[in-house]
Amino acid sequence: MKVLVATDKPFAKVAVDGIRNEIEAAGYELALLEKYGEKAKLLEAVKDADAIIIRSDVIDAEVLDAAKQLKIVVRAGAGYDNVDLEAATAHNVCVMNTPGQNSNAVAELAFGLMVMAVRNMYNGTSGSELKGKKLGIHAYGNVGRNVARIAKGFGMDIYAYDAFCPKDVIEADGVKAVASAEELYSTCNIVSLHIPATAETKNSINHALVGRMPKGGLLVNTARKEVINEAELIQLMEERADLKYMTDIMPAANEEFASKFPGRYFSTPKKMGAQTAEANINAGIAAAKQIVGFLKDGCEKFRVNKK
């Protein structure tokens, strides 16, 4: 059996070594395709793969057609919007993610972006502190919970909204649960986004919602670029010179944001929330173990597509 690690944005070497140990200990072969750039290289590499470990790499119907022996794809990470789940089901391929394994890394980067913004991008002028500020956590999943934990250390006043997480679960963490996204944005000085990219959430972070934020509002995005209505956010930031946007996922309109809002906008050049050795090891080795469990014992824990 051949397990392919196909990561355009590679894991740390120590994580690849750990994945290799798991795969080879199970008697399987490991193949590595990193920084491949063009889809053609991925299409070639998947031809004889029985299992694939990916990150944000796109697995669509064309890739699945090319992967004649494929049985399982594990997205080493949380969001699986990069995998065509229906096509995977149609090809009889199991898709899994590794929830929670990289969430601390993403949460820490959210604070990296927050501190950078409130210290005026480190331009030497007097900024402000996070202590005492109202932080809104938009979606209270694994990353949101880590954000809440870290925010307590900063002495922030913490609020959260999650359409699917019960209020008592949020409040058990000492976080104030609000009834709607609208209330979260109206209440908080800083909102940190942790929603997945789904049909319902795409373009949902729009003028009406972000426009509710109090003066000096800061929006931090370590989730997905697709959830932002970029045209409306640009319009809003033109109307309101007090708002800031910090993102780990470069928008399609990056150049427009950067030229129109210097000092109020920043994007990392490459999505790097989960780019730590620890997160790579956790998510990568979890993915390898899930593949071994699936191939050897048929274990389908963390399956995200229909059969």
Binding site for ligand 3PG (CB under 6 A): 9, 55-56, 77-79, 102, 271, 273-275
User: Crossing angle for the helix pair 103-118 and 277-297, nearest 10 degrees?
Assistant: 160
Give least dist CB 75 to ligand 3PG, A.
Answer: 7
Give least dist CB 5 to ligand 3PG, A.
Answer: 12
Of 12 and 116, CB closest to ligand 3PG: 12
Give least dist CB 131 to ligand 3PG, A.
Answer: 28
Taking the CA atoms of residue 287, residue 293, residue 299 and residue 304 in that order, the dihedral angle to the nearest 10 degrees is: 10
Of 59 and 237, CB closest to ligand 3PG: 59
Of 56 and 204, CB closest to ligand 3PG: 56
Of 189 and 275, CB closest to ligand 3PG: 275
How does DSSP assign 171-236, residue by residue?
A: HHTT-EE-S-HHHHHHH-SEEEE-----TTTTT-B-HHHHTTSPTT-EEEE-S-GGGB-HHHHHHH
Give least dist CB 213 to ligand 3PG, A.
Answer: 24
| Tokens of residue 216, six digits | 């000096």
C-beta nearest to ligand 3PG: residue: 77
Helices marked H in 47-141 — which ranges? 61-66, 85-90, 103-118
Give least dist CB 288 to ligand 3PG, A.
Answer: 15
Of 1 and 250, CB closest to ligand 3PG: 250
Q: Can you tell me the distance from the alpha carbon of 124 to that of 58, in angstroms, rounded to the nearest whole number?
A: 41
Quick check: helix, strand or coil at residue 170?
helix
